[in-house]
Amino acid sequence: MLVARLDHPADFAGWRRRARILAQAGIAPGLVDWRVGDEDGELFGGESVDDLAPVSGIELTVPRDFPELAQAVICHRDPERFDLLYRLLLRLQREPGLMHVMTDDDIHRANAMAKAARRDMHKMTAFVRFREIVSADGAEAFVAWFEPEHHIVERVSRFFVERFCAMRWSILTPLRCLHWDGKTMHVTDGASRADAPSDDAMEAYWRTYYANIFNPARLKIKAMTAEMPRKYWRNLPEADLIAPLIAGAGRRAEAMVANLPTLPPERHVRQAQRQREEVAEAPAASGSWAEAKAAARDCTRCGLCQHATQTVFGEGPLAAPVMFVGEQPGDQEDLAGKPFVGPAGRVFDRVMGEAGLDRSRAYVTNAVKHFKFEVRGKRRIHQKPNAGEISACRFWLGLERDFVRPKLIVALGATALHALIGHSGSLASMRERDLTLDDGTALVATVHPSYLLRLPDEAARLRETERFRADLERVGRLVPEMLAGMAA
């Protein structure tokens, strides 16, 4: 029996080096006794793998994803993991496509072990809690205690170094311990729970924070215990609060419902009334557009008027060469009574400027004139208008088109496109095409600025913002009067 001795339980480099020697020598998996550190194996020992003469001229090849799988499997506590990986290494020389055979017993077992190890790493990054101590030299330091299921400590160390690089800290576990002095990582043998501090002054603040972010209305006990299993609770300072918070969740949720926000403050209602009176008293020079705006303030063509603060009509010169049509007013537009003044409006203004367009020369409006929303906590969250609501507001949009008679209309988003062409269509298929409405007006279709705000990925946001800018630059080429610095 050959003995392959590794430095520690997750010694992937050592396993790889000795597995290569064994494979090149043609040693079968069952003839290898894998040992860790100084642990004893068979009674009479055996020849060390390190004493085997290297064999030259034999090349071992594995798929690109095998080393990554092997590094995760090595972290598992199963004592047969080394032999399993060595067996897979030999099989891959004969079966190069083996990694993709998910029904194979060895592949299935290796993937299950890797998944368990990775899950354990995720839990360690989530549930380590540092406690402050004063080190022997009087400097500030932090110590945490964690009980991993598998040999993951070295593997996850990079996460803590990158996140807490400016701190001096130690993470103690029963298996291995990590120590970071601000410059160098040291790994030592396992410790006991008594070696770690049990409390510190900051934990009262942490419990207060946890109690305040706990949302009883969104409590799902099964999902919570699946993500934060009970076995981790004993080492979490906030764990003492979990049971009473769960017990009181029902009462707190009822209190939240009782304290739901009302409609916008009375000052906004009064402001809307003053604006109605101002429009009603507008001079005759404003013409029928002013009358249409005044009439729209009392619109009841759909149910959205019941909860919105006010109708938000379009804004801009009546001789504007370009009309921009959005979806509907947002929360800030609903309160201000003006289109595109919220976060999406600020994106719109910024990209308009970058594209060289002058917003003051454009007429800006929305397909739907009332804010559609649902209340969540103390916020009013935007809801997409349905086909009936879009159809009801086409009357007002049609009047605006008649008054302005623009050379070009820009549909900002799918709702605006639906309102203009009379049916829902694919925005992606119409974007960057030369389109014309029934009355001969040129049409450009692009995204709504709010779409850019919803993209979670920074690279995607930059890419899509560049596309939106290109669409607006196209507007400037089609209607040069919109370019800043040119005579209107």
The DSSP bridge pattern shows strands 373-376 and 379-382 to be: antiparallel
Average pLDDT estimate for 377-400: 91
User: Residues with Cβ < 8 Å from 169, sequence gap 6 or more?
Assistant: 130, 141, 142, 143, 144, 160, 179, 180
Using a 10 angstrom Cβ sphere, with 0-12 exposed, 13-18 middle and 19 or more buried, the burial of residue 406 is: buried
According to the model, what pLDDT value does residue 220 have?
A: 78
Model pLDDT, residue 241: 72
8 A C-beta contact, residue 321 and residue 407: yes
Which of 348, 387, 343 lies closest to 365, judged by CA? Answer: 348
Which of 6-10, 42-46, 380-384, 424-428 is the least confident region? Answer: 42-46
The mean pLDDT of 57-62, rounded to a whole number, is 82
Cβ atoms < 10 Å from Cβ of 269: 12
379 burial (CB, 10 Å; 0-12 / 13-18 / 19+) is: exposed
Comparison of pLDDT for 39 and 181, the residue scoring more:
181
Average pLDDT over residues 128-149: 87
In the chain, helix, strand, coil percent, each to 5?
50, 15, 35
- Which band of pLDDT confidence, cut at 50, 70 and 90, is reported for residue 262? low
Question: Within 10 A of 352 (CB to CB), how many other CB atoms are there?
Answer: 23
Give dist(CA 7, CA 16) in Å, integer.
Answer: 12
pLDDT of 206 higher than 80: no
- The average pLDDT across 352-375 equals 95
Closest CA to 481 of 336, 269, 321: 321
Domain locations in the chain? 2-123, 128-195, 214-257, 266-482
pLDDT band at residue 423, thresholds of 50, 70 and 90?
Answer: confident
Within 10 angstroms of residue 310's Cβ, the number of other Cβ atoms is 25
Q: Which of the pair, 96 or 225, is modelled with greater confidence?
A: 96
* pLDDT value of position 286: 40
Q: Identify whether the C-beta of residue 324 lies closer than 8 Å to the C-beta of residue 355.
A: no
What digits encode the pLDDT tens for the residues 9-52?
A: 999 999 999 999 999 888 998 899 999 987 765 544 578 887 77
pLDDT band at 153 (very low <50, low <70, confident <90, very high): very high
For position 414, what pLDDT does the model report? Answer: 94
| Residue 268: per-residue pLDDT | 63
128: pLDDT strictly greater than 60: yes
Per-residue CA distances from 304 to 75, 337, 372, 393, 423 (Å) = 58, 15, 6, 11, 21
The pLDDT score that the predictor gives to residue 246 is 75
CA separation for the pair 73, 120 (Å, rounded): 12
Q: Would you say residue 118 has pLDDT above 80?
A: yes
The model's confidence at residue 331, banded by pLDDT at 50, 70 and 90, is: very high
Q: Long-range contacts for 476-482 (Cβ within 8 Å, ≥24 apart)?
A: 476/355, 476/356, 476/357, 478/408, 478/442, 478/444, 479/321, 479/322, 479/407, 479/408, 481/321, 481/361, 482/321, 482/322, 482/357, 482/358, 482/361, 482/362
Q: For a pLDDT cut of 90, what percent of the chain falls above it?
A: 62
How far apart (Å, rounded) are the C-alpha atoms in residues 86 and 82? 6
At the fourth CATH level, the homologous superfamily of domain 266-482 is: Uracil-DNA glycosylase-like domain (3.40.470.10)
Q: Read off the pLDDT of residues 269-287 as tens digits, 9 standing for 90 and up.
A: 566 555 554 444 444 334 5
Please name the amino acid found at residue 132.
E
Q: What is the mean pLDDT of the chain?
A: 87
Distance CA 48, CA 21 (A): 11
- The mean per-residue pLDDT over the stretch 161-188 comes to 93
Question: Of 2-16, 128-142, 411-425, where does mean pLDDT reach its minimum?
Answer: 128-142
Is the separation of the CB atoms in 437 and 420 below 8 Å? yes
For tokens 């995204």, what's the residue?
A: 447
CA 36 to chain centre: 41
